[in-house]
Amino acid sequence: MTTSPRHHPLRSLLTVMLVVALLLALAPPTAVLAQEEPPELITNGGFDDGTTGWWATGNLTMEIVDGRLCTEVPGGTTNPWDAIVGQDGIVLAEGESYAFGFAASASAPAAVRGIVQLPVDPFTAFISLTPTLGADPATFEGGFTAPQSLDNAQVVFQIGGSAEPWTFCLDDATLTGGAPPPVYEPDTGPRVRVNQVAYLPDGPKGATLVTEATEALPWELHDGSGTTVASGETAPAGVDPSSQQQVHTIDFGDVSTTGSGFTLVADGETSHPFDIAADAYETLRTDALDFYYTQRSGIEIDGAIAGEAYARPAGHVGVPPNTGDTEVPCQPAEVSEEVYGEPWTCDYTLDVTGGWYDAGDHGKYVVNGGISVAQLMSTFERTRTAATADEGALGDGTLDVPEQGNGVPDVLDEARWELEFMLKMQVPEGEPLAGMVHHKIHDNQWTGLPLLPHLDDRIRELHRPSTAATLNLAAAAAQGARLFAPYDAGFADELLAAARTAWDAAQETPALYAPPEDGASGGGPYDDNDVSDEFYWAAAELFITTGEDAFADAVTASAHHTGEVFTPGGFGWRDVAALGRMDLATVPNDLPDRDRVRDSVVAGADAYLASQEGEAYGQPYTPPDGEYVWGSNSQILNNMVVLGTAYDLTGEARYRDGVVEGMDYLLGRNALNHSYVTGYGENDARNQHSRWYANQLNPSLPNPPDGSVAGGPNSQESTWDPVAQRLLTGCAPQFCYVDDIESWATNELTINWNSTLSWVASFVADQDGGDDTPALACAVRYTTDGSWNAGFVARVLVTNTGDQPVRGWSVSWAFPGDQKVRQAWLADVTQDGAAVTAGGPRHNRDLAPGEKHTFGFLGASGGLAGAAPELFRLNGSACTTG
């Protein structure tokens, strides 16, 4: 908290002394003792005794100027901790609350960090005040409750990281116990909570009113000019369990008028403004996917592509100070023995450049990369299988990536960047555990914030292979093989070969787990001691891609094939069976019980709809015990993926509406009145935990790019960071969030959270105005008349089932694998990648109502499964099949 320069600790002390003197005169001695000031824990905080008790890094010289400690800070330092003034030996007691403050100034505007912290790795900060200083001294104050007892805590002022030299001056540094526990009261804005971005014209429109009233209240919808365009009454909903607020809901779904600047007024409150627009989510579709380019490792980020604020040199390519990812060794045996209970290392190094940085740190993790890249590929694959998907929305030239114009859909180019990294993590042939996949690669110690990737000077290490990582590669590479086959057959072959090798290796070593202890230093553990779901997911993807009986048997033999995979808390990197189930349901394949698989997805969606109907804020999320987990926004989004998949399977609008309403929660209709997506909404997340999107700590660095989603509320206190511990104790689940860069437990960004946002944003963008899918006016029957090892003959019957003629008809579809049209008759057929278009021949360019036309073609297969396509469009309109 920043206060006025007039609010000076010395003046406050004089006031306290006067109060104490008065108490001495009026109260008995026992009462006076109760008012004694707590002891000052910082030695010589007013610098009356020169610099006694203080130290500084070797690049600083401390001087006393006008009673303040001042030092010249050299320019050209890289990190905040490259220049420090500090004091050691601070005694803290667990559970005690402390008040911390200081007065400081700078000769030129400069960002500093005043921290009370653990003095050794990982240098946990118990409080971090991060002001930008000016020429006039200003006082900064805050409070915290110590999570542990220490006799050697540090007070440090990190003042490095500036390109130009400047002068830092410090005075009145104070740290005292006996303070009241800090009370955090977030600014939640107007009590009418809405989607701060937009509602679809013909979609659901809901809002939530926080109020003490128990009876229905009137509401009004105003357009951008302030004119009332709709009105009604609220519906009292009682106390919402996830926020502990008394709330009403507002339904204005009957309004279909489009425009910008709408507001809802109820109970004397006016909401944040919002739009009603059919194309509101087209930008979020691409922004959520563009996020991945600036997460890339091993490549220069081009400002002309990503925006100049995000330009940076390539990270971890071996250019000093990086040790680089070009020749990464395994963990030393003595280190791994502490983690695994037995020594493990290897005598080789691997080039594991590339891939995406997992989150706000510099680590790269295969199990998180697996679900992330799979969801990006599924976002693209949905354009081949879903009737409402925009076929061209994710093609070549649609994203901000350097590979534009290469004839490959941009989202696949982005996926390839991660897939190639995952291939590099596979243990080479001839080595112990050959074919298995290293679990992760990251620094051998945690690094501080901020730290751009190319400036990371820590040693990088490969961690022991795991069965989970191996199966993640098998699943993602198998999926990638069928999607890349029409564009790069060589890469598709490489992916499928790696997937088979990984599958076989996992069969041989089915229980090599990553333990939770492998997260003590430098990176998260991503531990998982049940990989039966990974086996199911990998078998499903290998079966869909190859059609082989062995993989079909592995699918049907798994308990996950008929078990409950759509749990209330949602799927994620540790629970991936749902990924296999949904792909079996939507991607063409010949599994015998596929109808049951589809029904199970719909049943899972029904459960999420039922839970959503009971939530006053419209989120499809009722986790066990009501506890919001780390990354709760990702779990909500993954539940929305299930709803969207059910809509694609059934065409029933209630599933689509569930996705659209769930988006309201993410974009502001929540207890905090906060949009969790950067760049979207009046009050959006800006300070997600990241070492390079670190504007909060260094104004020269950017905030996260638009379309970055924050992890969201986390009520699991055991996983809390110091900021959350300090501010959020006792919070109701929806209130367990703070938009602070230091709060990794509530505010991190990760590749697997943005991957599910990408799928959902693309789905919602495809719904246009939110109106029901128009009645189908065509039917297509696709028949294979014969097949052999490398080819087949197919026949297509198209019927105009509408009451209007179809002029200049064309039928389009996408092959699910590597099939190609070699020769056609009775139609003009072209193919681009997997996409095929068959147009009417010259003698039959129109189809009258009820008219049929049959054409055929000779097809070739490169060896992948030859499942028939299942989605056909007549002049862009989806047709019934069969």
Which are the catalytic amino acids? 361, 689, 739, 748
The per-residue pLDDT for range 459-501, each reduced to its tens digit, is 999 999 999 999 999 999 999 999 999 999 999 999 999 999 9
Confidence check: pLDDT of 284 > 80: yes
Integer Cα distance of 753 and 748 in angstroms: 9
Cβ-based neighbours of 516, under 8 Å, separated by 6 or more: 525, 527
Identify which has the larger pLDDT, 30 or 654: 654
The per-residue pLDDT for range 295-315, each reduced to its tens digit, is 999 999 999 999 999 999 999
Confidence check: pLDDT of 49 > 60: yes
pLDDT score at 667? 98
Return the CATH fold of 281-387+416-592: Glycosyltransferase (1.50.10)
Confidence check: pLDDT of 6 > 50: no
For the record, the structure tokens of 445 come out as: 């110690």
**Helix H or strand E segment including 159:** none
Candidate from 666-680, 719-733, 754-768 with smallest mean pLDDT: 719-733
Return the CATH fold of 2-177: Jelly Rolls (2.60.120)
The per-residue pLDDT for range 864-878, each reduced to its tens digit, is 998 999 999 999 899
CB 355 within 8 A of CB 417: yes
Integer Cα distance of 82 and 73 in angstroms: 10
The per-residue pLDDT for range 854-864, each reduced to its tens digit, is 999 999 988 89
Integer Cα distance of 77 and 713 in angstroms: 36
Confidence check: pLDDT of 121 > 80: no
Amino acid at 622: T
Confidence check: pLDDT of 9 > 70: no
pLDDT score at 95? 87
pLDDT score at 770? 62
The per-residue pLDDT for range 607-654, each reduced to its tens digit, is 999 999 999 999 999 998 899 999 999 999 999 999 999 999 999 999
Identify which has the larger pLDDT, 701 or 37: 701
Mean pLDDT of all residues in 146-165: 92
Domain limits of the chain?
Answer: 2-177, 192-276, 281-387+416-592, 778-881
- Gap between the terminal Cα atoms of the chain: 66
The per-residue pLDDT for range 210-265, each reduced to its tens digit, is 999 999 999 999 999 999 999 999 999 999 999 999 999 999 999 999 999 999 99
- Long-range CB pairs of 120-123, under 8 A, 24+ apart, other chains included: 121/445, 121/446, 121/521, 122/445, 122/446, 122/521, 123/446, 123/448
pLDDT score at 650? 97
- Long-range CB pairs of 21-27, under 8 A, 24+ apart, other chains included: none
At the fourth CATH level, which superfamily is domain 192-276? Immunoglobulins (2.60.40.10)
The per-residue pLDDT for range 550-578, each reduced to its tens digit, is 999 999 999 999 999 999 999 999 999 99
pLDDT score at 843? 62
Confidence check: pLDDT of 30 > 80: no
Q: What's the Cα-to-Cα distance from 29 to each of 33, 35, 39, rounded to whole Å?
A: 6, 10, 19
Integer Cα distance of 543 and 552 in angstroms: 6
pLDDT score at 34? 46
Buried b (16+ CB within 10 A) or exposed e, 663-696: bbbbbbbbbbbbbbbbbbbbbbbbbbbbbbbbbb
CB 409 within 8 A of CB 834: no
Confidence of residue 14 (pLDDT cuts 50, 70, 90): very low
For the record, the structure tokens of 284 come out as: 């979020």
Q: Percent of the chain beyond pLDDT 70?
A: 95
Integer Cα distance of 402 and 413 in angstroms: 9
192-276 matches 281-387+416-592 in fold: no
pLDDT score at 521? 84
Confidence check: pLDDT of 688 > 70: yes
CB 815 within 8 A of CB 486: yes
Please identify which residue in the block is written with the tokens 């900060």. 125
pLDDT score at 122? 76
The per-residue pLDDT for range 820-846, each reduced to its tens digit, is 999 999 999 999 999 999 997 766 678
CATH architecture for the domain at 778-881: Sandwich (2.60)
Confidence check: pLDDT of 8 > 70: no
CB 157 within 8 A of CB 86: yes
